[in-house]
Amino acid sequence: MGNADHTYEQLMTAVKEISLLGTSASVLHWDQETYMPPKGAETRGNQVSLLARLAHEQFTDKKIGTMLAEVAQSDLVRDRANDAAVNARELRRAYDRATKIPATLVADISKTAVMGHHAWIDARKESNFTKFKPWLAKMLDLRKQEANYVGYKTVIYDALLDEYEPHETTANLVRVFESLRDPLIELVAKIKSSPRRAPVEILERKYAAAAQEIFARDAAKAVGFDFDAGRLDVSVHPFCTDFSPLDVRMTTRYDEHYFGDAFFGVLHETGHALYGQGLPIEHVGTPLGEPVSLGIHESQSRLWENFVARSRSFWEFFFPKAQTVFGQQLKDVTLDQWYFAVNDVRPSLIRTESDEATYNLHILLRFEMEQAMLNGEISVDDVPRAWNDRMQKYFGLTPPDDAKGALQDTHWSGGAFGYFPTYTLGNLYAAQFFEQARKDLGNLDAMFARGEFAPLLTWLRENIHRHGKRYTARELVQRITGKELSAEPLLNHLRRKAVELYGV
């Protein structure tokens, strides 16, 4: 074994250990959100901070830099498709980012995030933007500093976006999002003008939490979630976290007066979880065992939530089962009514309550706002007005107060500028992947109607999951679909449903 091989093995041992520290912290975080008693919070914070600090110290150690440099100069990376070349490329990216940002700035951002979060909670409660304003200003300043340390080619937003969607650029997002925006505004306006209304009151009958849980578990299992390698629990904010492909935990919450919350929530988290369970076990703890990006991760959750679980064929299989579990609630409901109810489209003020179509307008609004705040086009004073102007333009709605406007999301209090666009990226990727899966696999609807989801899952495993970070998101889209990312597949998907359900 040559020197470089030996160094590469040492590097892998080191990063696998750092990953174990990270997944240990994830277990602690999962417990915090699911089972931890309330008084346990302070010690938990200390435990998680310590593990994060140790992982950061180990990863930014000069030895990692030396090993990376040695591997980068060796034959191991000559072929960029080599495992070692991929791991070296992605570790270099992460190492550069981690070492460029001063520890004092990292600490300042963490502290401001905690305090800003508390300020945001108060501000939203009172619908008082002024209370949040200084924290937003400070966070913008800190993240700009970070971007300057990290560096960027074109605009400051690139440096922040890159943290969540590696190798992506603001310019490329602007290109795709702009081609989505006007047609989507137009489609939503048409739907609004349709005389047809989805019978959403069906979903608002009383559905017992225990029965919802049984039904959601059955669906998660049917589409491929392995309950021997994961769990479904309850938490206030649903999430999915993985400690390895053999231990993936998702959570949900049950609203007994709204069926959609838990069921589509579970299918959404199941999409994330199937990605987690599908990552290559032999590469655990290295970039080749990690997801590509937040956008690709979100494509998996949206694909199962919206493209599968909101399809008519899915309910051809599951609606009779739902009628068995919820006999009383669904005895007078037809499949067509149910299918329409779970595909209600309606302009609304709140992102997290919005539907498959309008959700993306909420994201475009935030994406534009973030860029404008970071490049100084709008000051923090102008945020509520700029927000409300766009709400009027995109939805024809004006928030009655800032709690239902610019204060509705927690993300900015934590400084997560550049995070929101990954949600719509997820929808776009999902649409384009799903279109390709239809071409490759034939009649997916016939399969769903028979309860066959394995062919689709196998296709996703084969084309996406098993590659870890081998390809960038952009390479992956090109490789799978033969095209660059486009708004057309998502628009086509939404238009087809609009015709079918709203006749527009």
Active site residues: 269
User: Which residue do the tokens 């666009």 mark?
Assistant: 421
Nearer Cβ to a copy of itself, position 51 or 480? Answer: 51
Alpha-carbon span 366 to 422, nearest angstrom: 11
Relative to beta strand 230-234, strand 247-252 is parallel
Cα distances (angstroms) measured from residue 193 to each of 148, 197, 300, 343, 379 = 47, 10, 32, 16, 35
Residue 20 or 222 with smaller CB distance to a copy of itself: 20
Q: Please state, in angstroms and rounded to a whole number, the distance separating the CA atoms of residues 115 and 109.
A: 10
Measured CA to CA in angstroms, residue 338 lies from 168, 199, 212, 241, 314 at distances of 39, 8, 16, 31, 12
Q: Which two tokens stand for residue 136?
A: 């937003």
Q: Which is nearer to a copy of itself, 26 or 179 (CB)?
A: 26
Beta-carbon-side half-sphere exposure of residue 94 (alpha carbons within 13 Å): 24
Interface residue with a copy of itself among 90, 146, 247, 290 (CB under 8 A) is: 247
Q: Does 13 bind a copy of itself (CB under 8 A)?
A: no
Q: Would you say 18 or 202 has its CB closer to a copy of itself?
A: 18
Identify which range of 23-31, 198-206, 298-306, 397-405 contacts a copy of itself by CB under 8 A: 23-31
Q: Does 50 bind a copy of itself (CB under 8 A)?
A: yes
User: Does 56 interact with a copy of itself (rule: CB under 8 A)?
Assistant: no
| Among residues 72, 137, 211, 246, the one that binds a copy of itself under rule CB under 8 A | 246
Interacting stretch for a copy of itself, rule CB under 8 A, among 50-58, 250-258, 344-352, 482-490? 50-58
Binding-site string for a copy of itself from residue 209 to residue 228, where x marks contact by CB under 8 A and - marks none = -----------------xxx
Based on CB atoms, which residue is closest to a copy of itself, 46 or 194? Answer: 46
Interaction between residue 113 and a copy of itself (CB under 8 A)? no
Return the number of the residue (133 or 231) whose C-beta is nearest a copy of itself: 231
Stretch that binds a copy of itself, among 46-54, 74-82, 153-161, 390-398 (CB under 8 A): 46-54
One-character DSSP codes across 71-140:
HHTSGGGTSTTSHHHHHHHHHHHHHHHHHHS-HHHHHHHHHHHHHHHHHHHHHHHHT-HHHHHHHHHHHH
Restricting to residues 166-185, name those near a copy of itself by CB under 8 A.
none
The Cα–Cα gap between 200 and 440 comes to: 35
Binding part of the chain for a copy of itself, among 49-57, 115-123, 145-153, 216-224 by CB under 8 A, reads 49-57
- Nearest approach in angstroms of CB 247 to a copy of itself is 3
**347: three-class secondary structure by DSSP:** coil
The piece of 242-250, 314-322, 398-406, 474-482 that touches a copy of itself (CB under 8 A) is 242-250
Task: State the nearest-atom distance from the C-beta of 249 to a copy of itself, in Å.
Answer: 8
Do the beta carbons of residue 495 and residue 180 sit within 8 Å? no
Q: For residue 189, with 0-12 CB atoms within 10 Å meaning exposed, 13-18 middle and 19 or more buried, which class applies? A: middle
- Give the three-class secondary structure for 430: helix
- Per CB under 8 A, the segment of 13-21, 96-104, 297-305, 409-417 that binds a copy of itself is 13-21
DSSP output for 6-74: HHHHHHHHHHHHHHHHHHHHHHHHHHHHHT--GGGHHHHHHHHHHHHHHHHHHHTSHHHHHHHHHHHTS
Cβ of 431: how many Cβ atoms within 10 Å?
25
Of 355-374, binders to a copy of itself (CB under 8 A) are: none
CA triple 102-132-140, angle to 5 deg:
30
**Beta carbon of residue 287, minimum distance to a copy of itself (angstroms, whole number):** 18
Question: By 3-state DSSP, what share of the chain in percent is helix, strand and coil, each rounded to 5?
Answer: 70, 5, 25
**Least distance CB 64 / a copy of itself (angstroms):** 17
Q: Which window, 31-39, 110-118, 251-259, 473-481, contacts a copy of itself (CB under 8 A)?
A: 31-39
Q: Distance (Å, rounded) from C-alpha 186 to C-alpha 188?
A: 6
Give backbone dihedrals phi and psi of 156, rounded to 5 degrees, phi first: -60, -35
Which residue from 46, 148, 324, 492 is in contact with a copy of itself, where contact means CB under 8 A? Answer: 46
Of 27, 98, 137, 378, the residue at the interface with a copy of itself (CB under 8 A) is 27
Among 139, 113, 147, CA closest to 45: 113
Which CB atom, from 277 or from 427, has the smaller least distance to a copy of itself?
277
**Binding residue (CB under 8 A) for a copy of itself from 230, 295, 405, 415:** 230
Is the Cβ of residue 51 or residue 262 nearer to a copy of itself in the bound state? 51
Looking at the Cβ atoms of 100 and 217, the one nearer to a copy of itself is: 217
> Residue for token digits 């909670």?
121
> Minimum distance between the CB of residue 84 and a copy of itself, rounded to whole angstroms?
22
Least Å distance, CB 105 to a copy of itself, is 23
Of residues 166 and 230, the one with the C-beta less far from a copy of itself = 230
Tokens for 319, please give them: 């609606």
Contact between 231 and a copy of itself by CB under 8 A: the answer reads: yes
DSSP lists the bridge partners of residue 249 as 231, 241
Give the footprint of a copy of itself on residues 263-302 (CB under 8 A).
Answer: 284
Q: How far is the CB of 213 from a copy of itself (least distance, A)?
A: 16
Residues that bind a copy of itself (CB under 8 A): 17, 20-21, 23-24, 27-28, 31, 35-40, 42-44, 46-47, 50-51, 54, 226-231, 233, 243-244, 246-247, 284
